[in-house]
């Protein structure tokens, strides 16, 4: 299916270990026959996520590429997206035409979001194991990403989390915005995730999709080499920086 224009760029953000790579694997498994998909992963110093996805065998290896950000992960998806844009454009050129490029952010704090300069739409991944109250805490990704995924719902009984309550809290925090409970062990939930991606792609191709900026991340703390640390923000238009 050629769209006649560039691929839909879909960002996947969320804290460390919630299931960003697994969500990409789920999407690829469900949709790889239907769409030509490429993947860009972001890690600080490694290509661990790209290797995980290659090992999962969900796409030809050469369509999965790693960006090593070398700095705090949110910088490369929000403040200076040039490394990622170059990687996406090279992938699109090498495999022209691609329908969808999935971009995994490095695992970060709860408030990291993609810039609309890099992605057309973004999903934010939380997991049940992170605690049932996390969804209530809100923040730009939880509140305003195009989709919130509550992953690993199969673990609810094992970690004493009421999954239905967590999903309801998430819906309230998003004022009705879409929320999906997902587990790779529950095929219907993976199908629902794939259906959401299919729907966004259809809107994108028709020109009916408007990228939304969830907003900049909240002020946050970075430890420095003296172990002291400092607070800072990522206001709109702020210069790229190193930590």
Ligand X SMILES: Nc1nc2c(ncn2[C@@H]2O[C@H](COP(=O)(O)OP(=O)(O)OP(=O)(O)O)[C@@H](O)[C@H]2O)c(=O)[nH]1
How many residues make contact with ligand X (CB under 6 A)?
17
Beta-carbon-side half-sphere exposure of residue 168 (alpha carbons within 13 Å): 5
The angle, 0 to 180 degrees and rounded to 10, between the axes of the packed helices 20-31 and 48-56 is: 30
CA atoms of 81 and 73, how far apart (whole Å) = 11
CA atoms of 113 and 131, how far apart (whole Å) = 21
Q: Do the annotations mark residue 18 as ligand-binding?
A: yes
3-class SS at 43? strand
- Name the residue nearer to ligand X (CB basis): 155 or 165: 155
User: Which option in ligand X, Mg ion, none does residue 183 bind, with CB closer than 5 to 8 A by kind?
Assistant: ligand X
Using alpha carbons, select from 76, 121, 78 the residue that is nearest to residue 100.
121
Q: From the CB of 73, what's the least distance to Mg ion, in Å?
A: 11
Q: Is 115 in the site for ligand X (CB under 6 A)?
A: no
Q: From the CB of 48, what's the least distance to ligand X, in Å?
A: 7
- Piece in contact with ligand X (CB under 6 A), picked from 10-18, 61-69, 139-147, 212-220: 10-18
CA atoms of 93 and 55, how far apart (whole Å) = 24
Q: From the CB of 14, what's the least distance to ligand X, in Å?
A: 6
Element (H, E) at 51: helix 48-56
Q: Do the annotations mark residue 207 as ligand-binding?
A: no
Contact 169, 136 (CB under 8 A): yes
Enumerate residues 15-34 that contact ligand X by CB under 6 A. 16-22
User: Which option in ligand X, Mg ion, none does residue 234 bind, with CB closer than 5 to 8 A by kind?
Assistant: none
- Name the residue nearer to Mg ion (CB basis): 20 or 234: 20
Contact residues toward ligand X (CB under 6 A) are 14, 16-22, 49, 107, 151-152, 154-155, 183-185
**Residue ranges of the binding site:** 14-21
């Amino acid at each position: 299916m050629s769209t006649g224009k560039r691929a839909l760029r879909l960002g996947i953000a969320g804290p460390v270990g919630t299931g960003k790579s697994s969500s990409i694997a789920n999407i690829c498994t469900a949709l790889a026959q239907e769409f030509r998909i490429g993947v860009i992963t972001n890690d600080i110093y490694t290509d661990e996520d790209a290797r995980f996805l290659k090992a999962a065998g969900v796409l030809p290896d050469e369509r999965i590429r790693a960006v090593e950000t070398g700095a705090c992960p949110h910088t490369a998806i929000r403040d200076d997206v040039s490394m990622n844009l170059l990687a996406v454009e090279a992938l699109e050129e090498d495999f022209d035409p691609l329908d969808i490029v999935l971009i995994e952010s490095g695992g970060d704090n709860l408030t990291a979001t993609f810039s609309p300069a890099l992605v057309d739409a973004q999903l934010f991944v939380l997991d049940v194991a992170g605690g049932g109250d996390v969804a209530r805490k809100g923040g730009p990704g939880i509140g305003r990403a195009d989709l919130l995924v509550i992953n690993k719902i199969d673990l609810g009984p094992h970690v004493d989390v009421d999954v239905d309550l967590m999903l309801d809290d998430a819906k309230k925090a998003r004022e009705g915005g879409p929320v999906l409970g997902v587990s790779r062990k529950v095929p219907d939930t993976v199908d629902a995730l794939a259906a959401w991606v299919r729907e966004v792609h259809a809107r994108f191709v028709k020109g009916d999709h408007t990228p939304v900026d969830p907003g900049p991340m909240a002020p946050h703390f970075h430890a420095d080499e003296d172990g002291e640390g400092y607070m800072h923000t990522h206001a709109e238009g702020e210069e790229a920086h190193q930590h």
